[in-house]
Structure 1
Amino acid sequence: MPKYLVLKHYRGAPAPTNDVPGDRWTPQEWADHIQFMRDFAERLQDSGEFVSADAVAPEGTWVRFDGEGKPPVTDGPFAETKDLIAGWMIIDVADHDRALQLAGELSSAPGAGGKPLGEWLELRPVMSEPPTVTE
């Protein structure tokens, strides 16, 4: 079964249909949103389609190889970026259509006022082997 990475972006284009910034959500709206995510993951655990998931903090650090043994490090991601990854989920499903179906359901997590968030989620297949180059 193919695996897919579902990326949840904190902000970015296009905007969700329920576009109320998270800092204006009530504690109960946040609790409802998080409970939806937990219930969704539990349902996928029961069906055998859940692999793993986590939320990630908005703070981060950029690191790269420098060839000298001491990698350069900078702050980031920066506030002016359009996208911040808020979390991710890996699912193991029968096919691409099922991955699309589940991502669509996940996008309906409640936001402000309990209305479905309608956020865009990035869905990417997990590579099981390196791509083949043909000429």
Structure 2
Amino acid sequence: MKYLCLVYCDECILHSDPDSPADAECLAYAQTIQGSGRMIAAEALSSTQTATTVRMRNGHMSITDGPFAETKEQLAGFYLVDARDLNEALQIAGKIPAARVGSVEVRPVRELQP
């Protein structure tokens, strides 16, 4: 089953906290998951300052610079994994290096019905 592991961190401390992982550590972990055959995709995201939010209301598009909400932690990246069950997905998420300074939300992927 597919699970999306959403990595959230406070951008102000993401790369400055002593426990923050370096890019090389994150890349090494992603390669470990890739080598196990459970990785579908993983990417780090640019700062929320580069985000643009799109909304459609009554047929009209609204475009806003920045993230959709003000929060203490921002979406920093994701891992899309194929795991046997939620327990295995949680084990994968718990080893994501950025979990030391932020949080990882694990959600099953819902298949769209035609």
TM range (shorter): 0.7 to 0.9
* Cα distance change, pair 36–23 in 1 and its aligned pair in 2 (3 A): closer
Structure with higher strand content: 2
> Counterparts of 1:6-17 in structure 2 under 5 Å?
6-11=5-10
* In structure 2, C-alpha distance between the alignment counterparts of 1:23 and 1:45, rounded to whole Å: 24
* In structure 1, C-alpha distance between the alignment counterparts of 2:43 and 2:109, rounded to whole Å: 16
Q: Deviations over 1:41-79 (max 9, x none)?
A: 1111111100001111222111122444x5111122278
Give aligned pairs, total: 111
TM-score normalised over the length of structure 2: 0.78
Runs of 4+ in 1 over 4 A off after TM superposition: none
Aligned to 2:109: 126
> Counterparts of 1:18-37 in structure 2 under 5 Å?
21-22=13-14, 24-25=16-17, 33-37=22-26
Q: Give the residue type in structure 2 aligned to 1:98.
A: E
Question: Which segments of 5 or more consecutive residues in structure 2 lack a partner in the other structure?
Answer: none
Rg (Cα) greater in structure:
1
CA RMSD between the two structures:
2.9
Does residue 44 (structure 1) correspond to residue 33 (structure 2)? The answer is yes
Q: How many percent of aligned residue pairs carry the same amino acid?
A: 32
Q: Deviations over 1:2-39 (max 9, x none)?
A: 01111111229xxxxxxx8235358xx87x52112111
